[in-house]
């Protein structure tokens, strides 16, 4: 199909659609609402006759303050939203793809019909208010860094095995507030660059980690929009805001995640990009909890073979011992 054909289809679709109100489910955190607003803006641009209402849904993941693994992992951020979508209470649902688990199948009857163009995927340091440091390199041995992500912990400890990493979680804005209260001796935390930007906290971004020091999470920086598979109208609409290259990258990364059958607590990193000659390039890493052990794999394939590339890199990682490392980590 040529670009011209697509444009004509888009316009006729828009004209055929009567004024319509669509409800989009989103978590209630500041960051989730900012992401949902971005999806609504993108839809408004391609379909001015569609009015998007954002419906805040509090998930069990947001309400739970304890260890996520005990709640059944990251899927806890989706369950209530998936249910509302399946029941028709909402027409679409917005998710940060990083929070979508890879070891359980997505609910039947729901599809990701759009991925927005990927944001910056890097992680960065956020110093507590008044901290005098500028880089991990400056920290005295034993300095305490807060992060609950095993992927981040393992990679920080690979660079600085003498630092102390303690669990620290919560939605982005409250997490920053708790860091600044600083009654637990934490000097800095690690967060996603894009999340801080979206949450209007870009001024807190400290040292930004290069990709070769901190491989991002699968799905980092990508917003996905789900709808019912049977809802042709909404699927057609979402297709208009789907970013093709991001879809290829997400497909490869998630095929890798699925191939490894990592659970919510697995320190798995994965990143797919496009080479200058248009091929897909995928890096995957799996770490032991203390960062002492890790396996690494990389592969390239044609741009329409994202799924095969992900499966291939997962198989390579598995051959290198990734499954043993994953199995050795408690759920
Ligand atoms: N784990 C929570 C989460 N889920 C998505 C983002 C924002 C960045 C993204 O969408 O990748 C964040 C915050 C963070 O990890 O700092």
Residues 101, 237 within the same domain: yes
**Residue 267, domain member (yes or no):** yes
Q: Which residues of the chain have pLDDT under 50?
A: 1-6
Buried b (16+ CB within 10 A) or exposed e, 242-267: bbebbbbbbbbbbbbbbbbbbbbbbb
Q: Which of 26, 29, 31 most suits a substitution to test ligand 1, by most atoms within 8 Å of the C-beta?
A: 31
CA of 195 to the centre of ligand 1 (A): 6
Residues 6+ apart with CB under 8 A from 11: none
CA of 273 to the centre of ligand 1 (A): 19
User: Which of 185, 213, 242 represents a domain boundary (last residue)?
Assistant: 242
Residues 151, 300 within the same domain: no
Do residues 71 and 267 lie in contact, with contact meaning Cβ atoms separated by under 8 Å?
no
Residues 258, 229 within the same domain: no
Residues 104, 13 within the same domain: yes
**Residue 212, domain member (yes or no):** no
**Residue 247, domain member (yes or no):** no
> Distance (Å, rounded) from C-alpha 216 to C-alpha 132?
27
CA of 321 to the centre of ligand 1 (A): 28
> Distance (Å, rounded) from C-alpha 252 to C-alpha 267?
18
Residues 237, 106 within the same domain: yes
**Residue 301, domain member (yes or no):** yes
For residue 144, CA distances in Å to 102, 140, 166 come to: 30, 10, 7
**Nearest residue to 285 via CA among 262, 302, 303, 308:** 262
Locate all alpha helices (DSSP H) within the chain, ordered by sequence.
3-16, 30-46, 60-63, 79-86, 150-159, 172-181, 193-198, 232-239, 244-260, 306-319, 322-327
Residues 20, 112 within the same domain: yes
Structure confidence at residue 15 (pLDDT): 60
| CATH number of the domain where residue 134 is located | 3.40.190.10
Q: Tell me which residue has its CA closest to atom 10 in ligand 1.
A: 221
Structure confidence at residue 264 (pLDDT): 61
Structure confidence at residue 4 (pLDDT): 47
For strands 144-146 and 164-166, give the pairing: parallel
Residue 191 CB–ligand 1 contact under 6 Å? yes
CA of 17 to the centre of ligand 1 (A): 34
Residue 199 CB–ligand 1 contact under 6 Å? no
Q: Tell me which residue has its CA closest to atom 9 in ligand 1.
A: 221
> Distance (Å, rounded) from C-alpha 146 to C-alpha 167?
6
Residue 194 CB–ligand 1 contact under 6 Å? yes
Mind telling me the catalytic residues? 99
Do residues 123 and 196 lie in contact, with contact meaning Cβ atoms separated by under 8 Å?
no
pLDDT in tens, 104-136: 778 899 999 999 999 999 999 999 999 999 999
Environment class of 69 (CB within 10 Å of its CB; exposed 0-12, middle 13-18, buried 19+) = middle
> Distance (Å, rounded) from C-alpha 189 to C-alpha 176?
9
Residues 95, 228 within the same domain: yes
> Distance (Å, rounded) from C-alpha 187 to C-alpha 146?
8
pTM of the model: 0.89
pLDDT in tens, 139-169: 999 999 999 888 999 999 999 999 999 999 8
For residue 112, CA distances in Å to 39, 95, 103 come to: 13, 9, 17
**Residue 214, domain member (yes or no):** no
Q: What is the count of structural domains for the chain?
A: 3
Residue 224 CB–ligand 1 contact under 6 Å? no
The length of the chain, given as a count of residues: 331
Q: Tell me which residue has its CA closest to atom 6 in ligand 1.
A: 195
> Atom of ligand 1 at shortest distance to CA of 97?
10
Residues 110, 10 within the same domain: yes
Residues 105, 16 within the same domain: yes
- Domain span at residue 41? 3-117+221-242
**Residue 248, domain member (yes or no):** no
**Residue 213, domain member (yes or no):** no
> Atom of ligand 1 at shortest distance to CA of 216?
11
Environment class of 14 (CB within 10 Å of its CB; exposed 0-12, middle 13-18, buried 19+) = middle
Residue 96 CB–ligand 1 contact under 6 Å? yes
Residues 104, 233 within the same domain: yes
**Residue 285, domain member (yes or no):** yes
Do residues 238 and 223 lie in contact, with contact meaning Cβ atoms separated by under 8 Å?
no
Residue 98 CB–ligand 1 contact under 6 Å? yes
| CATH number of the domain where residue 295 is located | 3.30.160.40
Residues 199, 316 within the same domain: no
Residue 221 CB–ligand 1 contact under 6 Å? yes
Residues 112, 129 within the same domain: no
Structure confidence at residue 92 (pLDDT): 97
């Amino acid at each position: 199909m040529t670009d011209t054909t697509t444009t004509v289809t888009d316009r006729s679709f828009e004209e055929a659609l009567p004024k319509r109100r669509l409800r989009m489910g989103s978590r209630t955190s500041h960051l989730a609402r900012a992401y949902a607003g971005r999806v609504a803006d993108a839809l408004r641009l391609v379909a001015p006759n569609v009015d998007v209402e954002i419906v805040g849904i509090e998930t069990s993941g947001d309400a739970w303050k304890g260890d996520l693994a005990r709640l059944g992992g990251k899927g806890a951020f989706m369950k209530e939203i998936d249910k509302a979508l399946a029941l028709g209470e909402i027409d679409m649902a917005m998710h940060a793809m990083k929070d979508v688990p890879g070891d359980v199948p997505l609910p039947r009857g729901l599809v990701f019909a759009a991925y927005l163009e990927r944001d910056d995927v890097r992680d960065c340091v956020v110093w507590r208010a008044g901290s005098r440091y500028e880089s991990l390199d400056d920290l005295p041995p034993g300095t305490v860094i807060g992060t609950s992500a095993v992927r981040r912990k393992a990679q920080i400890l690979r660079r600085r095995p003498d630092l102390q990493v303690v669990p620290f979680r919560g939605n982005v804005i409250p997490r920053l507030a708790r860091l600044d209260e600083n009654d637990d001796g934490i000097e800095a935390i690690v967060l996603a660059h894009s999340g801080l930007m979206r949450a209007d906290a870009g001024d807190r971004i400290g040292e930004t980690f290069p990709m070769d020091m901190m491989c991002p999470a699968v799905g980092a920086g990508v917003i996905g929009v789900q709808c019912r598979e049977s809802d042709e109208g909404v699927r057609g609409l979402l297709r208009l805001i789907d970013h093709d290259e991001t879809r290829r990258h997400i497909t490869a990364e998630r095929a890798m995640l699925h191939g490894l059958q990592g659970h919510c607590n697995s320190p798995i990193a994965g990143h797919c990009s496009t080479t200058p000659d248009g091929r897909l390039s995928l890096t995957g890493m799996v770490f032991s909890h203390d960062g002492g052990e890790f396996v690494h794999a990389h592969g390239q394939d044609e741009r329409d073979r994202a799924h095969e590339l992900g499966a291939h890199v997962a198989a390579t990682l598995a051959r290198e011992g990734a499954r043993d490392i994953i199995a050795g980590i408690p759920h």
